[in-house]
Amino acid sequence: MEEVRREAEGQRADEFNELSSKLEELEQERQILIDKIKQMEEEHRSLEEFLLKMKEEFTFAKKALEREQERKEKLLAERIVRDLFPIIDTLDHALEHDGNPGLVMLRTQLLEVLGRYGLTEVGGINEEFDPSIHEFVGYVPGPSGKVISVVRKGYKLGEVLLRPAMVMVGMGQETDTGENCD
């Protein structure tokens, strides 16, 4: 019986050693899996950071492209409007000599269309002379510093002055002696 007991203990010891060995193997596999999970989590974090960075760069590039497109559209609009100035000037000149209703309507329609794109006239009569929108041509009798006549109309496209108004400015009322005073 002693022998059976020893054999059983030996068998249990062998089983214990085998289980201990398997447990060590499983623990090593577990540690390998934990390391792989940590590595994959780090890769995932890295990929998320990369994706976020790419998204930010895409957003920045998209906004830059939109700004560039808007800038090009503004430049194109400015070029087109500047090219139309001689036509508008010719209409204005023709209207000074002939009040043809067809020409009045044509000029009105042209300026309405351009107005929808932001074109406005600047530099009207009786305004204070403002060098930021007026180009001084000369003095004439009239209220000092006021625009007395407009030689050529000026225009703005949005907030951009495309062409200043060429104006005659009052230098003060004439005196009884016919001399001008300031």
Question: Which residues have CB under 8 Å from 100's CB, separation 6+?
Answer: 94
Per-residue model confidence (pLDDT) at position 8: 77
* Per-residue pLDDT at 129 exceeds 70: yes
The neighbour count for residue 170, using CB atoms within 10 Å, is: 19
Per residue in 167-179, pLDDT (tens digit) is: 999 998 754 444 4
- The confidence score (pLDDT) of residue 174 equals 58
Q: Which residues pair with 134 in a beta bridge?
A: 165
123 torsion bin: left (phi>0), alpha (psi -120 to 50), beta (else) = left
- Mean pLDDT in residue range 55-65: 97
Average model confidence (pLDDT) for the chain? 91
What is the pLDDT, as a whole number, of residue 176?
40
Q: What is the pLDDT of residue 25?
A: 95
pTM over 0.75: no
Region 87-106: mean pLDDT is 92
Give the pLDDT of residue 180.
Answer: 46
**8 A C-beta contact, residue 163 and residue 89:** no
Across the range 137-144, mean pLDDT stands at: 96
The CATH-assigned architecture of domain 120-182 is: Roll (2.30)
The pLDDT of residue 139 is 96
Give the per-residue pLDDT at 149: 96
| Domain map (residue ranges) of the chain | 120-182
The percentage of residues in the chain with a pLDDT greater than 70, rounded to a whole number, is 95
Which pLDDT score, from 0 to 100, does residue 138 have?
96
In the predicted model, what is the mean pLDDT of residues 83-94?
A: 95
Higher pLDDT: 176 or 79? It is 79
In the three-class reduction of DSSP (H, G, I as helix; E, B as strand; rest coil), residue 8 is classed as helix
Say how far apart CA 133 and CA 144 lie, in whole Å. Answer: 18
Tokens of 94: 């023709």
- Structure confidence at residue 51 as a pLDDT band (50, 70, 90): very high
Mean pLDDT of 91-96: 93
